[in-house]
Structure 1
Amino acid sequence: MSDTLYQVVRNDEEQHALWPAGAALPAGWAAEGFVGTEQECTAHVDAVWPDIRPLSMRDRLGAR
């Protein structure tokens, strides 16, 4: 089992991803505030991001 910590990051399209905690973030991504194991972060993303379509698509379809 890995003891690597990850952080949940989010872009302007409200897409979420896991990124190694403490590593510099790629352009366009910001830390969402949740840090944990890969499993904990994945569970968090599943809970807070139920509609995985990009924000612009949800807006176009009136799904917000």
Structure 2
Amino acid sequence: MSERNEEDTREYRVVVNDEEQYSLWERDKPLPAGWYERGVTGSRSECLAHIAEVWTDMRPLSLRRRMAQSAGGTEERGGAR
């Protein structure tokens, strides 16, 4: 059986960086610098479902802020950490 066909039984966690970009990371591996836990753990599909629900604007935070500033508004940080 190929690795692709094997069931993934690993546990993952949802992580986010300072630009409010989301990813998932294996729970038992140390996080890379600049990434923080969001408090959501589970299977790969559960974590991806959570990310799909909460990450509705793919633009990095710095871009959203620049765009809001140039439009005359303000964009507050969404509390990524």
- If the TM-score is normalised by the length of the shorter chain, which range does it land in? over 0.9
Larger CA Rg, structure 1 vs 2:
2
Structure 2 equivalent of residue 45 of structure 1: 51
Question: TM-score if structure 1 supplies the norm length?
Answer: 0.92
Larger strand percent: 1
Specify the code of the residue in structure 2 equivalent to 1:53: R
- Runs of 4+ more than 4 Å apart: none
Figure out how many residues of one structure are paired with residues of the other and give that number: 64
Question: Which structure has more RCO (C-alpha within 8 Å, separation ≥ 6)?
Answer: 1
Unaligned runs of at least 5 residues, structure 2:
1-6, 69-73, 76-81
Q: Any gaps of 5 or more consecutive residues in structure 1?
A: none
1:59 maps to a residue whose letter is R
1:17 match: secondary structure: strand
Q: Deviations over 1:8-55 (max 9, x none)?
A: 000000000010002100000011110011111000001011001100
1:34 is aligned to 2:34: no
**Which letter does structure 1 place at the counterpart of 2:13?**
Q
What secondary structure does 2:41 align onto?
strand
Q: Counterpart of 2:22?
A: 16
Q: CA RMSD in A?
A: 1.2
